Structure 1
Amino acid sequence: MYLTKYLIKSELDEDHFLMINTLSGAIDRFHKHALSDLELIKQGRNPTNKNFLNKLTERGYVFESKNEEDEKFNKLRKTILDLEDKERPNITICPTFSCNMGCGYCYEGEITSIFKKSLINPSLIIRSIKKIEEYLKDQGKYCEKPDLTLIGGEPLLPIVKNDVLEIFKKCASMGYKFSIITNGYFLDLFIPDFVKNKKSLKYIQITIDGPKQIHDKRRPLKNLNSTFDKISENTELALKAGLPIKLRTNVDLTNIAFLSELGKYIKSKNWNKYSNFKAYLSPLEDCTVLGIDNVVREDKLIETWLNEKTDMNNENLSVFDDSQLFSTTDMLESTLLEKKQKVLPRFRYCGAVKGKMFVLGADGLLYLCVRGIGMPEVSVGRFYPDFQIFNDKIHQWTQRDIGNINCDSCSTVSTMQGGGCALEAIKNTGDLNSCSCDNTEETIMNYVNLRKKLFIDKFEESSSSKI
């Protein structure tokens, strides 16, 4: 008899404890009388309560042996990795590393100021897209036409306008769909052409980090002048033109208290009434390990966010989708909130290690990780002066999942973090196969404490021992 290692246990109230199976996703409540039986099972002995044992077996907490658990892990891993291999590929185009803004937390660092060279050429980019598609077909990872994404630096700078629009129009005529990640400052220059090819746009992402006084401190021009009014005007122009807009806010402890004010502003502009508008929150991260200030752990950010929602008790915060704040804890949060889209165990951290995402850098190099652009040491090939993919380097990335890397220190919760960020692992240790799941278990335990009342309410509502 073997008790799963994928187990989180926490006190729920004075009479009950909570058990979470991080492999199966099961969440259960048991009376504290069962703790002694749980200890017996942990020792490999039979419990006194057979019903308790049957329940644990049914919910995937108990196996005949560790080998049986390993078999279940490997079967689930294969199923999920196969599902991910059927996802649509993405090819990201970075026309320039240059940027007009000076955001203090930019993960690209100084490259947006010192790297002026751009190798963008519409014909070269389109040929490279076709070459990547051929490669994906050869690798059995091409299931449908890739989506395309434009990023920078800033991809909508006037200096690259003609080339960017040529790429956009030609690829749109070939049936590709685009996402555009922009700071929004020069968006007005591109709106007329984007409108003509509106059906080829999945969305345009624009970032506003708070009300004017907060945003302008965090996201000024390089000369420190204001950007809020111009970006706000362009957002409105795009919405009125019918373009799909995703408004992103990067959140840390210095701006989270001002989200209500930003929400109020969004409502005053009636942006939230547009069907082509969505606002979402994203945690500030330091995946390129530049020592960015104000980056906080997920549980601390969630705690502050939940307190803000409770304390403010107003509708201004309802305009934001907060799901990305729950990165490690999303499997639990989706179950608690009874979301239609359930979150599966996470065997890989992100698209960069799935082998279905390629980035064409402004330096002529190919990358798998968007945040690695401008770092030749993490490139996996080149598209200029000739096209070449280094299979050995790609394999190093694509074999990175929790079945292949050392996650011993966080094995209990490894299925909720997928081994962590590969780029962060490289920057911190020099080893792509090292784990970067620091504090994951503590983060989850703190989340459970933060959500304890909701857990209790869910059990009471369902009159059941499971969620």
Structure 2
Amino acid sequence: MLVSPNTVTFSVELPEGTLDPAYLDESGKVSVLANAVSGSMDIVTPAEVAVLERVRAGDAAVDRELVAGLLERGYVCTDPVEEEARYRAIVDGYFQAIQEAPFQFMFIPSFVCNLACPYCFEGELTTRSPRMDEEMIEAAFDTIPEIQDRHQNSGPPYITLFGGEPLLDTPYQRGAVEQILRGSYDRGYPVTAITNGVALDAYVPMLLKYGCEEVQVSLDGTPRTHDTRRVFRNGKPTFELIERSIDVAAEAGIRVLIRVLVDEDSVDDMPRFAEFAQAKGWLDHPKIRLFNGFTKATTFLYVTPDHPEEKRKRMVRGDVKAGLQEAFWRMVQQNPLVDRMLQPDLARIRSAVLEGDRLRPNLQGCSAGTSVVAFDPNGKIYGCPETVGRPQHACGTFYPEFSYAAGYRDPWRHRHVDTVPMCRDCNVKLFCGGGGCPIKAWAANGGDFNTCYCPKVSSITTRVETQLAYLLPMALRRQQEHANRPEGEEGTWEQMTRVGSFPWMS
């Protein structure tokens, strides 16, 4: 008998009275066991934690009843070879699923954008740019089968319009976008668009004509916050234009994803924005979904492997500003309507805690390496949309001829929790994706993808514990509501608990 190497113990502080005192340890916290291989996550008593630690120490004289429960949930095991086989089945199943999953191809007609957002990662690229002409667009389409073959991907391709701002209302841009839409439609490729939204309403008829299924736009809060940052180059506001575009697109039947970018300047505006979104009817609209992101430092995009080590690490260091995520969780905890609006899930455990879903391992922190390619107006191919236009990050060309930088792309494409040596024996590797952002790891470590750029293990643990402290009271309230339901009436929570939704583990 031994503790599974994939078992993690989290220590969570909950509001007083949330749980029976029998669950509290000496510090007044509760212990949560999690194992992303078995898919289990449970609140446990101090007695169960003590048994787990005695098993870890090799003590055979332990309470059989408690051990049986830990064994059933996968926190302890009897055969390390079988446990490794279960882990390998998940990893192999994940990457087999990726090979059969849809592959995203992003077309960038130009880098030009009509806005001047201060946090834009494309920066100076958006003021002047070459353009994709008709021949380049056709060349991009022609390389799609070859790129999928190089990636050993058999999934259906789908196209995303990207920029700069892809939906500029100019003669050139309308012509280029229509050619991309028509080419996608003729080939049977679904289309999405990522747009600032100011001219989306003008493009709705064209998007509908060629079957565009979804668009993503950004609103950074109420007008008083949004219009201090997402503005035209002459400083004019954009909120009302984007608001109108969202309504026009959604009422026309196009799904609209609204990204709300949170930073220290906008976090306190989220409650007011949630009230605005509710009044608009967006929170219950079948075609609208809101989600949040965080502003991030972008200096890593300028790093090359031949920079001195200290310069590399200094330029890559830092992502989300210190304290921002903590401030975000405090704000959400005090404002249930914001939770309803955004349903935040920074640690990717929300469905496991609230819906009874199986805990999902995070084997790869970013899909860019395996199932995303961007075509830029210089004829270059990129694997991450945040790196477009930075030649040191290009992984090939599609025009005037096709080339593929396998030495750069393949280590990135195959990178995951097992290929990064520092991650292999890490207790929380299945909660972080294995080594952090691949591009940041490559930049910080002189061009080596199989290295690590991640927060400290303690930071990953804190991230999960913070979200557990937020979600568990909600889950326990729901559990009580289900307990009070009339006998024989089964709801979604019970169904998910019984069935789970992690297909390659069934």
1:42 corresponds to 2:62: no
In the alignment, which of 123, 130, 136 is matched to residue 148 of structure 2? 136
Q: 1:280–1:321: 8 Å Cα contact kept in structure 2?
A: yes
Distance 1:270 1:76, change over 3 A: closer
Q: Deviations over 1:285-327 (max 9, x none)?
A: 44664789974568515522432324xxxx5x476242xx313
CA distance in 1 between partners of 2:388 and 2:190 (Å)? 22
CA distance in 2 between partners of 1:74 and 1:400 (Å)? 15
1:421 corresponds to 2:421: no
CA distance in 2 between partners of 1:11 and 1:240 (Å)? 43
Q: CA deviation at 1:151?
A: 0.8
Q: CA deviation at 1:360?
A: 0.4
Q: CA deviation at 1:22?
A: 3.5
**1:382-421 to 2 correspondences below 5 Å:** 382-408=397-423, 411-419=426-434, 420-421=436-437
**1:233-272 to 2 correspondences below 5 Å:** 233-272=244-283
CA distance in 2 between partners of 1:62 and 1:275 (Å)? 43
Q: 2:354–2:471: 8 Å Cα contact kept in structure 1?
A: no
Q: CA deviation at 1:156?
A: 1.5
Q: CA deviation at 1:131?
A: 1.8
Q: 2:232–2:238: 8 Å Cα contact kept in structure 1?
A: yes
How high is the sequence identity, in percent, across the aligned residues? 23
Equivalent residue of 1:205, what SS? strand
In the alignment, which of 161, 181, 189 is matched to residue 176 of structure 1? 189
Q: Deviations over 1:179-228 (max 9, x none)?
A: 1100012224323322323xx21211111111111001121122322111
CA distance in 1 between partners of 2:438 and 2:323 (Å)? 18
Runs of 5+ unmatched residues, structure 2: 14-18, 24-30, 302-314, 484-496, 498-506
Distance 1:19 1:281, change over 3 A: same
In the alignment, which of 302, 306, 311 is matched to residue 332 of structure 2? 306
Distance 1:222 1:381, change over 3 A: same
- In the superposition, the TM-score normalised over structure 1's length comes to 0.86
- Matched residue pairs, number? 448
1:160 corresponds to 2:173: yes
Q: CA deviation at 1:110?
A: 2.6
Q: 1:287–1:423: 8 Å Cα contact kept in structure 2?
A: no
Equivalent residue of 1:29, what SS? strand
Distance 1:133 1:326, change over 3 A: same
Q: 2:140–2:399: 8 Å Cα contact kept in structure 1?
A: no
Tell me which residue corresponds to 2:304. Answer: none
Q: Deviations over 1:136-156 (max 9, x none)?
A: 246531233x01001111111
Distance 1:164 1:29, change over 3 A: closer
CA distance in 1 between partners of 2:359 and 2:213 (Å)? 23
Tell me which residue corresponds to 1:213. Answer: 224
Q: CA deviation at 1:51?
A: 1.8
**1:276-295 to 2 correspondences below 5 Å:** 276-286=287-297, 289=300, 295=321
Q: 1:19–1:28: 8 Å Cα contact kept in structure 2?
A: yes
Q: Which amino acid aligns with 1:345?
A: P
CA distance in 2 between partners of 1:153 and 1:359 (Å)? 12
Q: Which amino acid aligns with 1:10?
A: S
Q: 2:114–2:233: 8 Å Cα contact kept in structure 1?
A: yes
Tell me which residue corresponds to 2:22. Answer: 15
In the alignment, which of 308, 317, 341 is matched to residue 320 of structure 1? 341
Equivalent residue of 1:412, what SS? coil
Tell me which residue corresponds to 2:27. Answer: none
Q: 1:20–1:28: 8 Å Cα contact kept in structure 2?
A: yes
Equivalent residue of 1:403, what SS? coil
Tell me which residue corresponds to 1:446. Answer: 466
Q: Deviations over 1:49-80 (max 9, x none)?
A: 11222222222222346554333322221112
CA distance in 2 between partners of 1:249 and 1:397 (Å)? 29
Tell me which residue corresponds to 1:350. Answer: 366
CA distance in 1 between partners of 2:278 and 2:55 (Å)? 55
CA distance in 1 between partners of 2:332 and 2:319 (Å)? 22
Q: 1:96–1:152: 8 Å Cα contact kept in structure 2?
A: yes
CA distance in 2 between partners of 1:460 and 1:4 (Å)? 31
Tell me which residue corresponds to 2:488. Answer: none
In the alignment, which of 92, 99, 120 is matched to residue 78 of structure 1? 92
CA distance in 2 between partners of 1:272 and 1:48 (Å)? 51
1:436 corresponds to 2:448: no
Distance 1:177 1:67, change over 3 A: same
Q: Which amino acid aligns with 1:264?
A: E
Q: CA deviation at 1:276?
A: 2.7
Q: CA deviation at 1:254?
A: 2.5
CA distance in 1 between partners of 2:323 and 2:62 (Å)? 41
Q: CA deviation at 1:460?
A: 6.5
Equivalent residue of 1:381, what SS? strand
Q: 1:239–1:277: 8 Å Cα contact kept in structure 2?
A: yes
Tell me which residue corresponds to 1:24. Answer: 38
Distance 1:379 1:138, change over 3 A: closer
CA distance in 2 between partners of 1:90 and 1:59 (Å)? 37
Q: Which amino acid aligns with 2:326?
A: K
- In the superposition, the TM-score normalised over structure 2's length comes to 0.80
CA distance in 1 between partners of 2:479 and 2:421 (Å)? 36
Q: 2:107–2:375: 8 Å Cα contact kept in structure 1?
A: yes
Q: CA deviation at 1:167?
A: 1.8
Query: Root-mean-square deviation (CA), in Å?
Result: 2.9
